[in-house]
């Protein structure tokens, strides 16, 4: 198979003249006088400009729906919001999905809508990766009847107005700044989204009457430098290997706090290397596919002892089943209007595939599906937050959620490659 061209993939003076010494002295006094009067004003002006021009840490030039400084009404498309959030069945849930235009958010929103739940999406369409892919997902959701509000979870006034407009039974919180390596370039974005954004959401949710149940995406990265395998929910998570992992671990502790003080029902889900159609371009399986097709050399990392780097790759459909299982088994929050009335449910689950696969095997499967030989370069694993392996123990999720992954990496990659060729190259093989 020849290399395919996908380069397009995914700014009148008076006659009187005073002597020089007079001109100098008078001008000096006048200048000092002006300086005394105007310098403080100039400093104030600069300070105002600085405050007004301070950029948001959100990496997206999106449209702001609210100033975030006061509770003034904003123009929301209430008809679209209510239509999207209305369940088809009287027994259906009403779910707010944050990060709805993201990889997992799109699939979860579609699954909820298909089975009859009401779904309202929220996403800020940031530029961490190509927002065109997120907009394509948005169109997919619109066809299914899911409306996405273009806004940030840090906009508390906007969130409050959404909660005032819709009585959500559940919140599926999937919005986050993803990626391990990007934290070394833009650490502030992880604090802004993963911690401040989560707290903002919990603040609004805990004051609602009745409170919704919260299901949110943690990460397998919280296991960090843990060497005990497979990773169990009871294992230590106090040695994060990246800032991303640290923010997810911090969020788990924050969830415990809001559960304990305010009675919010909260379920955290530790995802293990999710892959599949409509995936994230920053993930290895995705950019390996792109670079193999372009004839570029790909880097395959090995551990310091020359061992294989392996991941517990989990297909998106299996992750969605776990998310829905967590939502369906979530008990009601016990608080009301910010006050706890009794003990509330607090859970954490691993959602993985239980079968770690070496990255070298991943590349071999991609070569097979693409019918292209990869140009490979083996390199030592850099100290950028990546860990050598992940391996999920899912016995708790199996018992409590009925979670049972059914797609192995070979079958899942076949589906991903079919989608990729169709989406980026217009292949007739696209599903």
In whole angstroms, give the CA distance from residue 59 to residue 152.
11
pTM to 2 decimals? Answer: 0.83
Q: Could you tell me the end-to-end alpha-carbon distance of the chain, in angstroms, rounded to an integer?
A: 21
Q: 387, 407, 314, 315: which is closest to 352 by C-alpha?
A: 314
> Which residues lie closer than 8 Å to 240 by C-beta, 6 or more apart?
221, 222, 224, 225, 246, 249
Give domain status of residue 151, yes or no: no
Question: For residue 85, is it within any domain?
Answer: no
pLDDT at 382: 82
Question: Which DSSP letter does residue 195 get?
Answer: I
235/239 Cα distance (integer angstroms): 11
Per-residue model confidence (pLDDT) at position 190: 96
pLDDT of residue 197: 98
CA distances to 125, 175, 216, 362 from 100, rounded to whole Å, are 9, 7, 12, 28
**Number of independent structural domains in the chain:** 1
Q: What is the DSSP string of 213-226?
A: EEEEEEEGGGGTT-
- In whole angstroms, give the CA distance from residue 7 to residue 22: 71
Please tell me the number of Cα atoms within 13 Å of 175 on its side-chain side: 33
Residue from 185, 188, 194 nearest 152 by CA: 194
Domain span at residue 188 reads 176-279+314-352+390-406
Residue 139 in any domain: the answer is no
User: What whole-number distance in Å separates Cα of residue 26 and Cα of residue 50?
Assistant: 35
pLDDT at 428: 54
- DSSP H or E run through 408: none
Which CATH number fits the domain that encloses residue 200?
A: 3.40.50.720
Q: What are phi and psi of 98, to 5 degrees?
A: -85, 150
On the CB side of 53, CA atoms within 13 Å amount to 6
314-315 and 266-271 strand pairing: unpaired
How far is it, in rounded angstroms, from Cα 177 to Cα 341? 33
C-alpha–C-alpha distance, residues 124 and 281, integer Å: 18
pLDDT of residue 359: 96
Task: Label the pairing between strands 310-311 and 357-358.
Answer: antiparallel
Residue 376 lies in a domain: no
Answer yes or no: is 323 within a domain. Answer: yes
Q: In tens digits, what is the pLDDT along the chain, a chain of 431 residues?
A: 444 443 333 433 333 343 444 333 444 433 434 434 443 444 344 333 333 333 333 343 333 333 333 444 567 899 999 999 999 988 999 999 999 999 999 999 999 999 999 999 999 999 999 999 999 999 999 999 999 999 999 999 999 999 999 999 999 999 999 998 898 899 999 999 999 999 999 999 999 999 999 999 999 999 999 999 999 999 999 999 999 999 999 999 999 999 999 999 999 999 999 999 999 999 999 999 999 999 999 999 988 877 889 999 999 999 999 999 999 999 999 998 899 999 999 999 999 999 999 999 999 999 999 999 999 999 998 877 789 999 999 999 999 999 999 999 999 999 999 999 999 998 654 44
Asked if residue 230 has a cis previous peptide bond (ω within 30° of 0), the answer is yes
Q: What is the pLDDT of residues 337-373, one digit of tens each?
A: 899 999 999 999 999 999 999 999 999 999 999 999 9
Whether 205 maps to a domain, the answer reads yes
Pick the catalytic residue: 244, 258, 285, 315?
Answer: 244
Is 244 assigned a catalytic role?
A: yes
User: So what's the pLDDT on residue 2?
Assistant: 40
For 239-263, the DSSP string reads --SSHHHHHHHHHHHHHHHHHHHH-
Q: What pLDDT is attached to residue 21?
A: 40
* Interacting residues of 282 by C-beta distance below 8 A, sequence separation 6+: 128, 129, 178, 179, 182
Residue 195 lies in a domain: yes
Check whether the bond before 210 is cis (ω within 30° of 0).
Answer: yes
Residue 330 lies in a domain: yes
Q: What is the pLDDT of residues 282-339, one digit of tens each?
A: 999 999 999 999 999 999 998 887 788 999 999 999 999 999 999 999 999 999 889 9
Helical residues (DSSP H) of 297-379, grouped into ranges:
316-329, 359-370
């Amino acid at each position: 198979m020849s290399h395919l061209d996908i380069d397009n993939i995914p700014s009148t003076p008076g006659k009187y003249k005073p002597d020089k010494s007079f001109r100098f002295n008078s001008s000096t006094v006048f200048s000092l006088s002006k300086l005394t009067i105007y310098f403080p004003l100039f400093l104030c002006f600069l300070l105002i400009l600085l405050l007004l021009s301070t950029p948001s840490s959100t990496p997206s030039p999106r449209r702001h729906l609210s100033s975030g400084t006061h509770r003034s009404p904003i123009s929301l498309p209430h008809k679209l919001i209510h239509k999207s959030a209305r369940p088809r069945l009287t027994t259906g849930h009403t779910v707010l999905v944050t990060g709805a235009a993201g990889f997992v958010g799109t699939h979860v929103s579609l699954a909820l809508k298909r089975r009859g739940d009401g779904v309202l999406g929220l996403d800020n369409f940031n530029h961490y990766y190509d927002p065109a892919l997120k907009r394509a997902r948005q169109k997919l959701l619109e066809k299914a009847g899911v409306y996405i509000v273009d806004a940030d979870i840090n906009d508390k006034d906007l969130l409050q107005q959404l909660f005032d407009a819709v009585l959500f039974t559940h919140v599926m919180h999937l919005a986050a700044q993803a990626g391990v390596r990007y934290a070394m370039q833009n650490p502030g974005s992880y604090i802004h989204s993963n911690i401040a954004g989560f707290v903002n959401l919990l603040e609004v949710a805990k004051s609602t009457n009745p409170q919704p149940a919260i299901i949110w995406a943690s990460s397998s990265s919280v296991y960090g430098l843990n060497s005990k395998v497979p990773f169990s929910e009871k294992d230590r998570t106090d040695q994060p290997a990246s800032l991303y992992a640290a923010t997810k671990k911090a969020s788990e502790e924050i969830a415990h706090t809001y559960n304990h003080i305010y009675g919010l029902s909260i379920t955290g889900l530790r995802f293990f290397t999710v892959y599949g159609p409509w995936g994230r371009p920053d993930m290895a399986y995705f950019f390996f596919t792109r670079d193999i097709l372009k004839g570029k050399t790909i880097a395959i990392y090995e551990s310091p002892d020359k061992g294989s780097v392996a991941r517990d790759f989990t297909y998106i459909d299996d992750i969605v089943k776990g998310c829905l299982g967590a939502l369906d088994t979530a008990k009601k929050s016990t608080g009301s209007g910010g006050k706890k009335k009794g003990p509330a449910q607090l859970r954490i689950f691993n959602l993985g595939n239980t079968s770690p696969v070496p990255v070298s095997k991943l590349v071999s499967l991609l070569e097979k599906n693409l019918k292209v030989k990869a140009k490979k370069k083996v390199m030592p694993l850099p100290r950028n937050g990546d860990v050598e392996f992940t391996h999920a123990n899912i016995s708790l999720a199996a018992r409590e959620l009925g979670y049972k992954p059914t797609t192995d990496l070979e079958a899942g990659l076949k589906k991903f490659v079919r989608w990729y060729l169709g989406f980026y190259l217009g292949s007739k093989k696209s599903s």
